[in-house]
Amino acid sequence: MGRAGYSLGGLRGEARGGIKCGICGGAGGKWAKRYCLRCRRLLKRSGDAKAAYVAALQKAWSVGDDGFLCHYSGVKLVEGGRKDPWALSFDHVVPGQKGNLVVCSFLINVMKAELSEEEFRVVVKEIDRHWKGQRFRKDVIGFASWNKAALAARGRIRRALAITGARGNLGMPGRLGKPGARGVKGPCPICGAEAKKGTRYCARCFRLQELRGERVAARKALKRAWDAKAGGFRCHYTGIILEEKDRKSPWYISFDHPTPGKKGAVVVTAIFVNLMKTDMSEKEFRAMIRELAKKFKGGVFDKSKLEFKYYHRGVRPKTKK
């Protein structure tokens, strides 16, 4: 008699005793849990307090979309796995600062790298502005979390360079002393400075071109990036003169394949832009920045403008053992 209040359906599928999921509001407590199975799957995380993950999911939940929306793009996210660029991931609003989480797409999470939300928004808008013909204003970003995170990010930076094909063997200059190079006189073919002994290049360019495996392409990229008037190399994507010595600087010089994996075509760019571009081709990257900037200025992010032909090539944040 006492069971009269329960329907069979209620016992099996619906929330028992009317418990609703504390995140999505759906039929939650199949086994009288606070959250439904779908949300609980997403909560299987570690690092931050569970409450932070719950809060992030609650904020991202959209009843109308029956899903979680990316904090940065507003795109409905794919739950489970990382194979999709729109896979749901958790992002620290300020890198390394626990407890302050948002939900965003895995790809945008990778793009944001060591930037705070504030910095990320500023950078995206600034790059977009620059691509529309304005000068990139370097001082709009403080990179407050960059320096602190740079050491921890070193593996990440190395991976970024690995993605672009860099060898990272800064030494071994002996290999450059090819027969014929010795004794060649004249200015450095890249920057015009006096050549270093035993090579055609000046000491500065000699060191830079050695950053990577594809030396010929690297030289060409350096030559294209060289600004004689400013006395430095300009970033292909921002036009800013790059840092050549401080490897921890976000503006540290790096090489990028405009088309991921396509050897022989290389440009010079700041390491933070390189990280931001990740697995995208230049065209894809430009479309992504354009859509994000639009969204950050109050517009609508148009997912259909994007394609990810090169996605998941080397992007997984796992260290090789």
Of 33-41, 81-89, 176-184, 252-260, the window that binds Zn ion (rule: CB under 5 A) is 33-41
Binding of Zn ion by 21 (CB under 5 A): yes
Binding of Zn ion by 191 (CB under 5 A): yes
Q: Residue 208 in contact with residue 193, Cβ under 8 Å?
A: no
For residue 92, the SS3 value is: strand
Beta bridge partners of 255: 268
Q: What b/e sequence results for 91-129 when a residue is b if at least 16 CB atoms lie within 10 Å of its CB, and e otherwise?
A: bbbebeeeeebbbbbbbbbbbbbbbbbebbbbbbbbbbe
Of 82-90, 169-177, 194-202, 211-219, the window that binds Zn ion (rule: CB under 5 A) is 194-202
Binding of Zn ion by 60 (CB under 5 A): no
Min dist. Cβ of residue 18 to Zn ion (A):
15
Min dist. Cβ of residue 39 to Zn ion (A):
3
Size of the site for Zn ion (CB under 5 A): 12
The token pair at 18 is 């009317």
Round to whole Å and give the CA distance between 176 and 165: 18
Round to whole Å and give the CA distance between 276 and 288: 10
Residue from the set 14, 19, 27, 39 that interacts with Zn ion by CB under 5 A: 39
Q: In this complex, which beta carbon is closest to Zn ion, that of residue 122 or of residue 193? A: 193
- Closest to 144 (Cα-Cα) out of 198, 205, 204, 96: 96
Round to whole Å and give the CA distance between 108 and 70: 9
Q: In this complex, which beta carbon is closest to Zn ion, that of residue 189 or of residue 314? A: 189
Of 160-168, 198-206, 257-265, 302-310, the window that binds Zn ion (rule: CB under 5 A) is 198-206
Binding of Zn ion by 205 (CB under 5 A): yes
Of 2-10, 128-136, 201-209, 275-283, the window that binds Zn ion (rule: CB under 5 A) is 201-209
In the chain, where do the E strands start and end?
61-62, 67-68, 88-92, 101-105, 226-227, 232-233, 253-256, 267-270
Q: Residue 149 in contact with residue 95, Cβ under 8 Å?
A: yes
Binding of Zn ion by 202 (CB under 5 A): yes
Q: In this complex, which beta carbon is closest to Zn ion, that of residue 93 or of residue 193? A: 193
Min dist. Cβ of residue 188 to Zn ion (A):
3
Min dist. Cβ of residue 84 to Zn ion (A):
20
Residue from the set 14, 27, 29, 36 that interacts with Zn ion by CB under 5 A: 36
Q: In this complex, which beta carbon is closest to Zn ion, that of residue 191 or of residue 275? A: 191
Round to whole Å and give the CA distance between 177 and 181: 6
Q: In this complex, which beta carbon is closest to Zn ion, that of residue 26 or of residue 198? A: 26
Q: Residue 147 in contact with residue 95, Cβ under 8 Å?
A: no
Q: In this complex, which beta carbon is closest to Zn ion, that of residue 15 or of residue 94? A: 15
Binding of Zn ion by 24 (CB under 5 A): yes
Sites of contact with Zn ion (CB under 5 A)? 21, 23-24, 26, 36, 39, 188, 190-191, 193, 202, 205
